[in-house]
Structure 1
Amino acid sequence: MAQHNAFYAQSGGVTAVINATACGVIEACRQAPDQIGKVYAGHNGIIGALTEDLIDVNQESDEAIAALRYTPGGAFGSCRYKLKDIETHRTQYERLIEVFKAHDIRYFFYNGGGDSADTCLKVSQLSEKMGYPLTAIHVPKTVDNDLPVTDNSPGFGSVAKYIATSTREASLDIASMCATSTKVFVLEVMGRHAGWIAAAGGLAGEAEGEPPHMIVFPEVAFDRKKAMARVDESVKRYGYCVIVVSEGARYEDGTFLADAGNTDAFGHRQLGGVAPTLAGMIKQDLGYKYHWAVADYLQRSARHLASKTDVEQAYAVGREAVALALAGKNSMMPAIRRISESPYQWDIIATPLAEVANREKFMPPSFITEDGFGITADCRQYLLPLIQGEDFPPFENGLPKVARLSLTLAERKLPDFTL
């Protein structure tokens, strides 16, 4: 088999373990020198391919690449940039193929969520139409855990561990002060359409009455009267109420509780803070003193509290992506398959991108309690294995060490391109 080059890019919101996937991809490529020559990474995701800003990963040492495994963020730069429709804006896709041709790139690894899977699929289809032999593999990543087929998405387990831990720790704070101070605490977590992260907050409590006392899921229509009654009941019964609310909480008509009125680069509604919105309702309807917090970027960058299971799976899908490509498995995604619950066992299977692109996996009704405010035993059984184990990064001078890359750009060979 002739030697050709590979391209890797990170897309969308980053995670605590997306760089572990990058590490898996790059190390696997380096271990196949007969088939893969250089590895390029897109500077700021797919934008780097369009503008021909290609990071020459071969300039990075083995030690620096290994350090990616415990480094959060997106080491090569990510982006929220959705390629336009291929039928009306074919030029962008043709530009990608031109860049790949110019740099002899025959392997395309795109690390992201559902939109990225769609892009990867379209690039694969166009390369075939243009007669350019490109093997395109989508590598799963999303804290939202909403990719179909795969049992769970790399990045989610670590967020789940962080949110469950933060909910438990903050609850102890509120419980200790509720007699004379704060009665209600609201924690806002990510999750636009799917409540997986909010559900993880439910792991904090293990017995009746333990917080969180209420979880607000996107999958369950928000009823203000019912929700306020739940808060009031919890305060009167336990002395306080802890709430975990998904940013995508919505009313029966589909309107978000916190719609900021704008859209992001992917066309998604920009959400403007459901925690203060919900806290305002509590103040207005019940008069209780409250505090609220937004986990925001902290939840997806907390590598110091990453799940060992998540780190191992993130690295594994990166390596498997390369194995699929070298085996000629085009337009595929390595998906995690749960083999058994006890002991928890998993492996990786190949899934056609057509079954993944632009599809979302929501919380099943069996995972949400009948009252709509908690998680069931089935949900707990699903979530618990994903947060198991600690994989602490090395520390130096009291702070976690991170990878330091040179990010050297390859020489451009094509004219400039306007996005």
Structure 2
Amino acid sequence: MSTSTRPRNALYAQSGGVTPVINASAWGVIDAVRQHPERIGSLFLARNGILGALNEALIDAATLTDAQLASLKTTPAGAFGSCRHKLKKDAEFDRLVALFEAHDIGYFFYNGGGDSADTCLKVAELARSRGLDLTAVHVPKTIDNDLPLTDCSPGFGSVAKYIATSVREAGLDIASMAPTSTKVFIMEVMGRHAGWTAAAAGLAAANADTPPHLILVPEIAFDEARFIAAVSQTVERVGYCVVVASEGIRDGEGRFLAESGATDAFGHAQLGGVAPVLANLVKAKLGAKVHWAVPDYLQRASRHIASATDLEQAIAVGQAAVGFALEGKRSVMAAIVRDQATPYRWHIAAVPLADVANREKTLPRDYLDAEGYRLTEAGREYFAPLIRGEAFPPFVDGMPALPDWRFDNVTKRLVPFKD
């Protein structure tokens, strides 16, 4: 907790891949800060994540209109911009220190996934090493649901709902045309190292003969012969086959089926599309007509079918992050703790950021059956409450309302940054 008697200022930023409800977490932070004017002065919103901090591109949250604030709870993507950037240069750390001092920043809230947790931890360690009075708290989000120490990650529930809904609807389409047209449909979903999103698609299945018939996840090595046999048997039994595959499925040697050879800012391999790889394999081996789809950004921008549970949790972690900071809890993440599954009850707790950064939570093996292709009751019990409830955005002329994300930057106090 700050030893100063004057209210210190705060900095919030969004980072990494955005979600249907990341802006709701921003609303939660802003709302909580406004409830404590005696403890926190100005709240600055960095443009494009940590890059906005480095470039001193800051928005004063006090200048947001009521309409803009309301839109934060109903609009996907990052209202203030996001980024993928790994802090690693001394010049960057020096610049952050200068920024914190110039704007009297005493609280830092970083809203992101695993890599963002690493950035938040680095900022906390930087402050400690430089003798800065700064409290850093991580606000979780990731559609991949792979953050450890939290029951789920805000953003995931809405993506799971979108994918399961899409699979159910597409499955009906394939079933209606299968006798004379497409026999196999493959949907590729996000998930580099963890199969949470693909497994959640299993919620669409009412029984063994309804889609998705086969789920492929990174945690279970892809076996070509076994997969082709399973597709063939499903088509013979049901008349068609719907497959949901994580982008990061690997072969028995641990190699991505669709690695492109490129890497991102954090050194992660860029994947080139596993759906067409699987489609070509099925066509070559079985001669069946195959269609494939990659929802890609559509799944993480699917605010129109967001989960009400997910929206509520996204707001809650933002509000709790501010509360933890005011309690003097440094270098923590606002985690969701499941109290019980039926009815679903949860609360927010502070967990050590050092136990979250650079770690991944993988899909439990018992969430899929012995063959590794179908969701089990244990998996269904975990996923089902996360997609419950509808939280529709306002519509104008038949379309989701478009937000007005025009903001003015605060006056800069530092010279332009050059790394």
TM-score range, shorter chain: over 0.9
Partner of 2:48: 44
CA distance in 2, matches of 1:133, 1:402: 39
CA distance in 2, matches of 1:327, 1:90: 31
Q: Give 1:4's match in structure 2, choosing from 8, 13, 28.
A: 8
CA distance in 1, matches of 2:69, 2:266: 30
Determine helix, strand or coil for the equivalent of 1:222: coil
Amino acid in the other structure paired with 1:50: L
Deviations for 1:283-329, whole angstroms, at most 9, x for unmatched residues? 11110001000010010101010000000000000000011111111
Deviations for 1:222-246, whole angstroms, at most 9, x for unmatched residues? 0001000000001111100000000
Deviations for 1:148-176, whole angstroms, at most 9, x for unmatched residues? 00000000000000000000000000000
- Number of equivalences: 415
CA distance in 2, matches of 1:342, 1:51: 47
Deviations for 1:338-392, whole angstroms, at most 9, x for unmatched residues? 0011111000011010111110000011112111112211011000000000000
Partner of 1:300: 300
Amino acid in the other structure paired with 1:79: C
In the TM superposition, 1:229-248 aligns within 5 A as 229-248=229-248
More displaced stretch, 307-316 vs 122-131: 122-131
Amino acid in the other structure paired with 2:282: I
Q: What's the TM-score once normalised by structure 1's chain length?
A: 0.98
Amino acid in the other structure paired with 1:212: P
**CA contact 1:183–1:240 (8 Å) conserved in 2:** yes
Determine helix, strand or coil for the equivalent of 1:298: helix
Determine helix, strand or coil for the equivalent of 1:411: coil
Q: Give 1:69's match in structure 2, choosing from 59, 73, 84.
A: 73
Determine helix, strand or coil for the equivalent of 2:122: helix
In the TM superposition, 1:166-185 aligns within 5 A as 166-185=166-185
Partner of 2:378: 378
CA distance in 2, matches of 1:343, 1:283: 44
CA distance in 2, matches of 1:408, 1:339: 42
**CA contact 1:258–1:277 (8 Å) conserved in 2:** yes
CA distance in 2, matches of 1:355, 1:109: 17
Amino acid in the other structure paired with 1:106: G
CA distance in 1, matches of 2:402, 2:111: 20
Determine helix, strand or coil for the equivalent of 1:70: coil
Partner of 2:277: 277
Amino acid in the other structure paired with 1:275: A
CA distance in 2, matches of 1:94, 1:285: 58
Q: What's the TM-score once normalised by structure 2's chain length?
A: 0.98
CA apart distance, 1:406: 2.8
Partner of 2:199: 199
Deviations for 1:119-162, whole angstroms, at most 9, x for unmatched residues? 11111111112111001000000000000000000000000000
**CA contact 1:6–1:39 (8 Å) conserved in 2:** yes
**CA contact 1:60–1:406 (8 Å) conserved in 2:** no
Partner of 2:389: 389
Q: Give 2:32's match in structure 1, choosing from 16, 21, 28.
A: 28
Determine helix, strand or coil for the equivalent of 1:107: strand
Determine helix, strand or coil for the equivalent of 1:146: coil
Determine helix, strand or coil for the equivalent of 1:242: strand
Amino acid in the other structure paired with 2:52: G
CA distance in 1, matches of 2:192, 2:342: 31
CA distance in 2, matches of 1:82, 1:104: 24
In the TM superposition, 1:286-325 aligns within 5 A as 286-325=286-325
Partner of 1:334: 334
CA distance in 1, matches of 2:93, 2:168: 47
Unmatched segments (≥5 aa) in structure 1: none
Partner of 2:154: 154
Determine helix, strand or coil for the equivalent of 2:73: helix
**CA contact 1:68–1:402 (8 Å) conserved in 2:** no
CA distance in 2, matches of 1:61, 1:385: 34
CA apart distance, 1:403: 3.1
CA apart distance, 1:66: 2.3
Amino acid in the other structure paired with 1:302: S
CA distance in 2, matches of 1:364, 1:402: 39
In the TM superposition, 1:11-22 aligns within 5 A as 11-22=15-26
**CA contact 1:70–1:402 (8 Å) conserved in 2:** no
Determine helix, strand or coil for the equivalent of 2:385: helix
CA distance in 1, matches of 2:373, 2:317: 34
Taking structure 1 as reference, are residues 402 and 27 closer, same or farther at Cα in structure 2, changes over 3 Å only? farther
In the TM superposition, 1:74-113 aligns within 5 A as 74-84=78-88, 89-113=89-113
Partner of 1:250: 250
CA distance in 1, matches of 2:254, 2:57: 40
In the TM superposition, 1:113-132 aligns within 5 A as 113-132=113-132
Partner of 1:356: 356
More displaced stretch, 10-19 vs 66-75: 66-75
CA distance in 2, matches of 1:380, 1:97: 47
CA distance in 2, matches of 1:402, 1:148: 34
Determine helix, strand or coil for the equivalent of 1:335: strand
Amino acid in the other structure paired with 2:153: S
CA distance in 2, matches of 1:145, 1:12: 13
CA distance in 2, matches of 1:180, 1:125: 62
Taking structure 1 as reference, are residues 319 and 402 closer, same or farther at Cα in structure 2, changes over 3 Å only? farther
CA distance in 2, matches of 1:90, 1:137: 22
**CA contact 1:100–1:106 (8 Å) conserved in 2:** yes
CA apart distance, 1:115: 1.1
CA distance in 1, matches of 2:43, 2:126: 22
CA RMSD of aligned residues (A): 1.0
Unmatched segments (≥5 aa) in structure 2: none
Amino acid in the other structure paired with 2:13: A
Determine helix, strand or coil for the equivalent of 2:261: strand
Determine helix, strand or coil for the equivalent of 1:67: helix
Is 2:64 aligned against 1:60? yes
Determine helix, strand or coil for the equivalent of 2:110: strand
